[in-house]
Structure 1
């Protein structure tokens, strides 16, 4: 016996609605375990833990750091290093790291890595000297190796911290004078500095900067960043910048100046801009010692703003 046509249509609609109501497939796959986990003590009370990014079928949204099996840090997906603080001097510890996705799935624990905090020392307020002769060598478009000459300290250098634009991105033991950086972006200007640190957490001044421009991706537009930026500060808070404007096919008549990441002023030449190297002097407050990060970008012939220069840091006395 044949079913009425209307009943068949209603049945088909009901089946369709049931299928749609199920929604997207539930995410039940966890990320991979983080690899390359290291733990190194830089003082009597801290351990620095680092790892490589995990992968997920959708996206990693965070990391969890465990100390002796107990979670001690919850971090965003963009963070691949952390200092574990307030530890006991001369004590062994063990650390693992897990990745997490948006659905709450967690990866397996990474392999356990040990670290022993340094022994407590007498009060030490003398920082190490700055590392010298910093050099950076590109390895393709996404990696680079830094090398430097060892710093000196009245006790012992226990760690070297690598900074990119005033943000710490890597740490190596005090016995090392090289660091390999990965995860860089193609066609990007970077400025690296290194600081030495001792067991009392005294940090040295910055090394001289080392700049790197990674190779652009195939077919990418030419880089438009000012180059050779230097910044010198004199008494009275005067800061003098010198740089080489980008080659754009036309004279560059305007640059934007950024202090501590914020737009500050536009440098404009009323007449023909100077050939070759450009110079600009400005004054900052001198009420207390202050660090300023400085970077520039040029207005291009089409009216848009180009890439940022490497960043420089000045300390105003």
Structure 2
């Protein structure tokens, strides 16, 4: 999240009258992240989050918003999109597609312990199962096809060693995705970006997960691998933290047991999850966009994680 398109209180005040939220009292930009323009807004009826979509196409947006509504209706702890008086949840503001969602209580847990990882693992499994009957299908827009398209763009900026690492890993993932084990992996709508700053806690209790704007249909195991590579690692080295990892896997498994194919695919999926974020951070680093309050990310962090997932054995899922 960031602010690419400013929104003033005056901009908001007239626009928000279409919602049953009362008067707009204040608006404040959110600095974390790099994709959309996000704001905390206060109204007569409470606090909400306003998002202006900067890169996603209008035809893609119903997937994200309807998925959040679908999950919220099934008891999954996610922000619920706010409909206007005509029942619409996708709108326009300052020339950009826009939406308002409910604001979760609590704060992000940036130094998670095993108890937090267990809470998140159980909720992730529940979310996967609750989304299984979601009728809209949209691919993960930062999946293999994007990796193949983006790698040639960033390669010229990299030294030879990193060019070799990136090219070889993309080839490995392309070959793995064409194999039988991958074909047997359960899949459906996934969050695909469930980092520490995309979940909220009150104490040890998870109050919700948010920022679904990288969601898409992919393997559930990839979603878990993305989550593990952030929540269950030492941030300085990228090494897996075994107590946090075991807590997350045990809690997920208690809700949805892993299949034989998932057990075989675990290390390749951890590599895929590291590759996805190394590549996107490389792209954002070398081709930045102008934004207010933009928070850059270090590509080297996921380079280190990828190297470790390639070179070191990982604990089995079973």
TM-score of Structure 1 vs Structure 2, range by shorter chain? under 0.3
Relative contact order, CA 8 A, sep 6+: which one is greater?
2
Q: Which one has a larger percent strand, Structure 1 or Structure 2?
A: 1
TM-score scaled to structure 1, two decimals?
Answer: 0.25
TM-score scaled to structure 2, two decimals?
Answer: 0.25
Q: Which one has a larger percent helix, Structure 1 or Structure 2?
A: 2
